[in-house]
Amino acid sequence: MALPREYTGQACSIVRALEIVGERWTLLIVRDAVFGVRRFSDFLEHLGIPRAVLTERLEFLVGEDVLARVPGPGKRSEYELTAKGLALWPVVRSLSAWGDEYYAPEGRRRVFVHDSCGGEVSPAGECAGCGERVPVAATVMTPGPGLPPPSPQDSAITAALAHPRPLLQPLH
Amino acid sequence: MALPREYTGQACSIVRALEIVGERWTLLIVRDAVFGVRRFSDFLEHLGIPRAVLTERLEFLVGEDVLARVPGPGKRSEYELTAKGLALWPVVRSLSAWGDEYYAPEGRRRVFVHDSCGGEVSPAGECAGCGERVPVAATVMTPGPGLPPPSPQDSAITAALAHPRPLLQPLH
DNA sequence: CACGGTTTGTTCGTTCACCGAACTCTTCTG
DNA sequence: CAGAAGAGTTCGGTGAACGAACAAACCGTG
């Protein structure tokens, strides 16, 4: 069966990668996971994704070992990035840089800084301050000049992400 | 109208970027463009994409200034990456690295080297030999150990890409 | 233990993009 | 001028995405 998930039999790692993360919503789920989102309801609210689609995507990503389903507080299950999922950060980060460069007339929406030295982290993961390679967990996401000011109808997640926050730190 | 191309009104550069390049086939078109593909028929043959979809995608990418339609030999038009399109290379390159890392049991399918020193170029664009940042046009794509050997039923494009080739150099 | 609310799904009818094949129009080529 | 090749367009069929309604599990509270 020719699932739209699959492409032709090309022996190309980009094709393989897109068969995993190339569907609608998938990279945004990974983005949110890096931002600290872990619960079904939070993904649902923040993304505005249909429930059935979220269910399917989460199951698929768990099956591919991009996310892991872990018990959270009160037996509620949460979805956590695996090492493999975390390895997708450069993809998401470079998309963010491209969007900021060409589709953010008011300026960049997100700026990433090194937690220890405060220097800015480049899309490639290097700190402009100290020159070191910065692990994702040592990166703080801060609002840039192009991020709209908080609005009352923002979701709780959106509001939380409008303040500086270390990546990967669980919300809640 | 809620085009599947669009997402919710999130003020996020990743969302913006995915609205441009997040649809099926789009990043593979950009990949092929970096590899030197320029003609409608070559994209068609190499990707195995439905014609109508290719038409729509190329027009959209030209409209977004990711590709430019330029007259080729004999008034045939060709599609050429713009600077904005070329800026998508880190996205494609990091997807390639991720796919090579987790979905290439026989080893990496593509290895990118610096044309002047022969050192390997990292996904971040740095040469492991000389330490310089390597422009895309100074990068040579070579087959890696995981690339299957040439087969008779390969398309002409696939066959051409099985040999070392500088990126961005037009095929034909 | 009963109850209401929250969380995490599932089901279902509609809409829309993707698909492949056939067709059209223009431009080379001999 | 005839034929082929390139670059699309058209069209019916299929499957994924959508939103709303429904359902089950779990929670804290009285």
pLDDT tens readout for residues B78-125: 999 999 999 999 999 999 999 999 999 999 999 999 999 999 999 999
Statement: the CB of A71 is under 7 Å from strand D: no
Distance of CA B162 to the CA centre of its chain: 15
Report the CATH number that the domain containing residue B79 is assigned in CATH. Answer: 1.10.10.10
Domains identified in chain B, total number: 2
Q: Considering all CA atoms of chain B, what is the largest pairwise distance in Å, rounded to the nearest integer? A: 52
DSSP state of A22: -
Same domain flag for B71 and B133: no
Task: Judge whether residue B73 has pLDDT over 80.
Answer: no
pTM for this entry: 0.94
Name the pLDDT band for A7 (thresholds 50, 70, 90).
confident
Statement: the CB of B75 is under 7 Å from strand C: yes
- Residue from A45, A48, A19, A23 nearest B7 by CA: A48
Q: Tell me the CA distances in angstroms from B20 to A141, B2, B16, B82, one per residue in order.
A: 24, 15, 7, 15
Residue among B22, B88, B123 whose CB faces A90 most closely? B123
Chain C nucleotides reached by a protein CB under 7 Å: 7-12, 16-22, 27-29
Domain end (from B69, B85, B101): B85
Same domain flag for A108 and A71: no
Residue among A16, A95, A126 whose CB faces B103 most closely? A16
Task: Judge whether residue B1 has pLDDT over 50.
Answer: no
Domain range for B117 is 89-166
pLDDT at B76: 83
Answer for the pair B103, A16: CB distance below 8 angstroms, yes or no: yes
Same domain flag for A99 and A72: no
Q: What is the pLDDT of residues A67-111, one digit of tens each?
A: 999 987 777 889 999 999 999 999 999 999 999 999 999 999 999
Instruction: Please give the residue that has the higher pLDDT: either B83 or A4.
Output: B83
pLDDT at A150: 86
DSSP string of B59-128, one letter each residue: HHHHHTTSEEEEE-GGG-EEEEE-HHHHTTHHHHHHHHHHHHHHS-TT--SEEEEETTT-PBBPTTSBBT
Name the pLDDT band for A4 (thresholds 50, 70, 90).
low
The C1' atom of D23 and the CA atom of A51 lie apart, in whole Å, by 14
pLDDT at A2: 36
